[in-house]
């Protein structure tokens, strides 16, 4: 089933000039870009986006990192997009992610891991709506 998911190319990917390479990889993997925008998240936006982690010890540093520079947000479409993107991204910790995954190739550690991907259909819907209006996604 064709699905849509949200990805964020995190500030480390922008800083290291890896956006083109990551997007090329996503396109090679069969994802279609349905919408895209560069955004410098406010503290409030990052706090809301990562609210599920608000009680974790890494929450403050994560918000700090995600607001340290601009990011690219993209709506991606593919067969089984949500699960497939998580697979191509690799494990959360870039230092432990499997060879060939985006996080292994472009990330640094458990925080600076290059890319975000929605983890469920419900979260994909919420996260897409967080950044894109219905008309963007037509
Ligand atoms: P995910 O991005 O693989 O879904 P989550 O557990 O949802 O991982 O965490 C959200 C983000 O928070 C991660 O992508 C990473 O940037 C950061 N993060 C997760 N766990 C840690 C940690 O233990 N230390 C520092 N940062 C973390
Ligand atoms: Mg997550």
Q: CA 30 to CA 37: how far, in whole Å?
A: 20
Output the pLDDT for position 138.
80
Q: Is 91 in the pocket of ligand 1 (CB under 6 A)?
A: no
Q: CA 1 to CA 91: how far, in whole Å?
A: 24
Told to judge if 116 belongs to the known catalytic residues of this protein, a careful annotator would answer: yes
Residue with tokens 């499997």: 98
Cα angle 55-111-97, degrees, rounded to a multiple of 5: 120
Q: CA 12 to CA 80: how far, in whole Å?
A: 27
What does pTM read for this prediction? Answer: 0.98
Structure tokens, 67: 């607001």
Structure tokens, 76: 């991606």
Contact 66, 46 (CB under 8 A): yes
Q: CA 73 to CA 105: how far, in whole Å?
A: 19
pLDDT in tens, the chain (138 residues): 899 999 999 999 999 999 999 999 999 999 999 999 999 999 999 999 999 999 999 999 999 999 999 999 999 999 999 999 999 999 999 999 999 999 999 999 999 999 999 999 999 999 999 999 999 988
Output the pLDDT for position 62.
98
24 Cα to the center of ligand 2, angstroms: 23
Residue by residue, what is the 3-state secondary structure of 69-95? CCEEEEEEEEECHHHHHHHHHCCCCCC
Q: Is 119 in the pocket of ligand 1 (CB under 6 A)?
A: yes
Nearest-atom index, ligand 1, CA of 65? 16
Q: CA 87 to CA 11: how far, in whole Å?
A: 21
52 Cα to the center of ligand 1, angstroms: 11
Report the candidate in 121, 35, 40 with the shortest Cα–Cα distance to residue 75.
Answer: 35
Residue 63, number of CB atoms within 10 A of its CB = 20
């Amino acid at each position: 089933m064709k699905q849509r998911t949200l990805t964020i190319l995190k500030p480390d990917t922008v800083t290291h000039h890896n956006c083109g390479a990551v997007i090329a990889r996503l396109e090679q993997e069969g994802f279609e870009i349905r919408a895209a925008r560069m955004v410098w998240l406010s503290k409030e936006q990052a706090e809301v986006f990562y609210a599920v982690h608000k009680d974790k010890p890494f929450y403050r540093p994560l918000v700090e990192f995600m607001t340290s520079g601009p990011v690219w947000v993209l709506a991606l479409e593919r067969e089984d997009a949500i699960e497939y993107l998580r697979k191509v991204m690799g494990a959360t910790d870039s230092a432990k992610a499997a060879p060939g995954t985006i996080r292994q190739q472009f990330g640094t550690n458990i925080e600076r891991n290059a890319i975000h991907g929605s983890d469920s259909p419900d979260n994909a819907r919420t996260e897409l709506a967080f950044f894109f209006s219905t008309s963007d996604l037509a």
